[in-house]
């Protein structure tokens, strides 16, 4: 591609961190030498063990140093990614197997360690579970680091590059992403990866445009070539033409203007053009996420996913620990509400050592959330007591996840009533009128919404699972991702059924799934009668602008029209039509 007219070439991948970057690339190919195998004498075993222990200590220190650096620059939540790496270097099963194999095989420790660790990673990789496949990547990452330390190698050279560049690699491990000189990395492009990979999560946190899943891009490009990375649409453009660069410059300028306008909405209310106020809340996972709630102009917290607090520990927190956490969050958002979802452990959210969850063939359809809590009453009561105690200092509401029918809901309410009575008898202050809600995320609950509505103060619709379970589509399975359709006619009918049941029993209904943060679907949700929308904090300004641009009658008319349509694409197209008419600049 050198000399003469250089042709623009486009490669398609998956955009995992939005924005545009333009510049020269640095192509990384793994420079780790092959691990050679050689025999050792029994008398050399102690020396090999010493080398191994030193390498593990070195690796642990490197991981802790990275974790500290990430925590200081972008927050503790992202630094927690490396907890899994620390677990690998401290895994007694893995270490003991290396020591056993060292004695039986009488080979150098690099070879033995690579054999054992690779077998572990391969076993996890074969399991059809995205969470476990991510753990396999953690093991591979740590394995390379330990071997690099055993070989006496310096850290990867590309991590110290001092000039501005776009990094192109086969795969970037979390440690690579965290260790690189971020000020000099304009963008990232990799052969492998998915939206849920650790590297993608960190790229988003660092606001570095990134495209992954480009297959064999490292084999096709050379260091020094000029490229443009479009992290929104998942494009990597080699030798971008002047008109392409001009087009992207205009897009970036437009995006910056929209962001600037949205900031001005922070203190305004989310009220439609015809005066209907829609409560606009934020979803959070960790206490430190509270900062972003007020910063983005949300009215409190519509979903606090409490289980995320406890996934990186081997024991569940005490009642006092939980009380302190909930109290601090409630104080920060009062008088706005804090809606706490009780533990949704199980499925892909496992807390090792906290609950004995045996392997299940279908964990997402298995022993999780309210099912697990109702069979572990002590764990459930500890959390409920902590929430009730915290309700004395803030506007706290409580909701139960994965309710499938009336018996489960009544069972959960009975345990709550028991905790309420125990605390009241002990003279502990609490909110006597605390609101209790049910998450509607299973089709059976949607179909029984009329019965459930008479037992609670509100409904919160978890659209992520409702769509997954209704359409029988695993939302993290790449092969069938195209079948995960929020505008499927069946979903539309279920949402209407839930909203009508809620209003017939004079309770409010909200949406706390990803649908609430999608501005293309806001007209549909308003037309269906949703009273509250709860989205990721950074999506709140866009949703607020959408709400302020719409009128309820036109949204209701949209729903009546879409209920006559038969396909997801027709319904989505009609939604986009109204959205584009009212706030087209947000759809770009």
For the annotated catalytic residues, the residue numbers are 198, 512
DSSP characters over 34-82:
P----B--GGGHHHHHHHHHHHHHHHHHHHHHHHHHHHHHH-HHHHGGG
CA-based nearest residue to 552, from 578, 527, 576, 577: 527
CA-based nearest residue to 344, from 403, 300, 397: 403
Helices 130-150 and 109-125 sit at what angle, rounded to 10 degrees? 170
**Alpha carbons 420 and 414: distance in angstroms, whole number:** 10
Ramachandran area for residue 194 (φ above 0: left; ψ -120 to 50: alpha; else beta): beta
Q: CA 564, 568, 573, 575 torsion: positive or negative?
A: positive
Instruction: Return the structure tokens found at 95.
Output: 């270490």
Maximal CA-CA distance, the chain: 86
Instruction: Return the structure tokens found at 124.
Output: 């996890």
Q: What is the dihedral of CA 168, 171, 172, 173, to 10 degrees?
A: -170
Q: End-to-end alpha-carbon separation of the chain, Å?
A: 32
CA-based nearest residue to 77, from 307, 295, 308: 308
The residue behind tokens 């986009």 is 576
| Complete edge-to-edge strand list for the sheet that includes strand 165-169 | 9-12, 235-238, 226-230, 20-28, 165-169, 185-190, 210-212, 14-17
**Alpha carbons 111 and 118: distance in angstroms, whole number:** 11
Angle, CA 413 vertex, CA 408 and CA 415 arms, to 5° = 100
Q: Rounded to the nearest 5°, which phi and psi values hold at 435?
A: -75, 140
Coarse DSSP helix, strand, coil percentages of the chain, rounded to the nearest 5 percent: 55, 15, 30
DSSP state of 342: P
Angle, CA 45 vertex, CA 41 and CA 50 arms, to 5° = 145
* Nearby residues of 316 by Cβ (< 8 Å), 6 or more positions away: 310, 351, 354, 355, 379, 382
């Amino acid at each position: 591609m050198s000399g003469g007219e250089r042709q623009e070439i486009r490669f398609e991948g998956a955009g995992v961190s939005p924005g545009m970057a333009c510049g020269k690339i640095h192509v990384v190919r793994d420079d780790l030498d092959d691990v050679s195998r050689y025999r050792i004498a029994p008398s050399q075993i102690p020396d090999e063990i010493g080398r191994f222990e030193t390498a593990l200590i070195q690796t642990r220190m490197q991981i802790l140093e990275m974790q500290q650096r990430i925590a200081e620059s972008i927050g503790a939540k992202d630094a927690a990614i490396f907890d899994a790496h620390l677990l690998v270097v401290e895994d007694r099963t893995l270490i003991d197997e290396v020591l056993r194999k060292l004695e039986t095989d009488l080979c150098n420790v690099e070879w033995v360690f690579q054999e054992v660790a690779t077998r572990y990673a391969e076993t996890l990789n074969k399991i059809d579970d995205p969470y476990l496949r991510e753990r396999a990547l953690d093991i591979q990452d740590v394995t390379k680091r330990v071997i690099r330390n055993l070989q006496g190698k310096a850290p990867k050279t590309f991590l110290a590059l001092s000039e501005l560049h776009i990094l192109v690699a086969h795969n970037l491990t979390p440690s690579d992403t965290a260790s690189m000189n971020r000020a000099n990395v304009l963008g990232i492009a990799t052969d492998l990866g998915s939206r849920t990979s650790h590297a993608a999560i960190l790229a988003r946190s660092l606001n570095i445009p990134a495209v992954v899943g480009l297959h064999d891009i490292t084999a096709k490009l050379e260091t020094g070539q000029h490229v443009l990375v479009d992290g929104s649409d998942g494009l990597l453009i080699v030798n971008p033409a002047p008109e392409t660069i001009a087009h992207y410059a205009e897009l970036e300028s437009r995006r910056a203007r929209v962001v600037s306008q949205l900031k001005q909405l922070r203190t305004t209310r989310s009220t439609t053009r015809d005066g209907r106020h829609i409560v606009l809340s934020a979803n959070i996972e960790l206490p430190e996420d509270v900062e972003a709630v007020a910063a983005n102009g949300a009215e409190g917290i519509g979903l606090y996913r409490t289980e995320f607090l406890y996934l990186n520990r081997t024991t569940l927190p005490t009642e006092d620990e939980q009380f302190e956490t909930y109290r601090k969050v409630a104080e920060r958002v009062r008088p706005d509400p804090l809606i706490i979802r009780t533990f949704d452990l199980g499925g892909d959210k496992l807390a090792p050592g906290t609950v004995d969850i045996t392997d299940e063939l279908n964990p997402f359809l298995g022993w999780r959330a309210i099912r697990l809590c109702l069979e572990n009453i002590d764990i459930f009561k500890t959390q409920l007591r902590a929430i009730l105690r915290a309700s004395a200092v803030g506007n706290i509401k409580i909701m139960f996840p994965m309710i499938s029918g009336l018996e489960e809901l009544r069972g959960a309410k009975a345990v709550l009533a028991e905790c309420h009575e125990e605390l009241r008898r002990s003279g502990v202050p609490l909110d006597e009128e605390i609101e209790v809600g049910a998450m509607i995320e299973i089709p059976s609950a949607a179909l029984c919404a009329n019965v459930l509505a008479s037992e609670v103060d509100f409904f919160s619709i978890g659209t992520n699972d409702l769509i997954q379970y209704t359409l029988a589509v695993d939302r993290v399975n790449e092969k069938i991702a195209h079948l995960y359709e929020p505008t499927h006619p069946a979903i539309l009918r279920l949402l209407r059924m839930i909203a009508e049941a809620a209003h017939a029993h004079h309770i409010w209904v909200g949406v706390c799934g990803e649908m609430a943060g999608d501005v293309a679907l806001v007209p549909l949700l308003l037309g269906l009668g949703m009273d509250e929308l709860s989205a990721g904090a950074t999506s709140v300004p866009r949703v607020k602008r959408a709400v302020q641009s719409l009128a309820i009658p036109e949204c209701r008319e949209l729903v009546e029209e879409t209920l006559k349509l038969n396909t997801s694409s027709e319904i989505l197209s009609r939604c986009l039509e109204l959205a584009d008419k009212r706030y087209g600049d947000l759809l770009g």
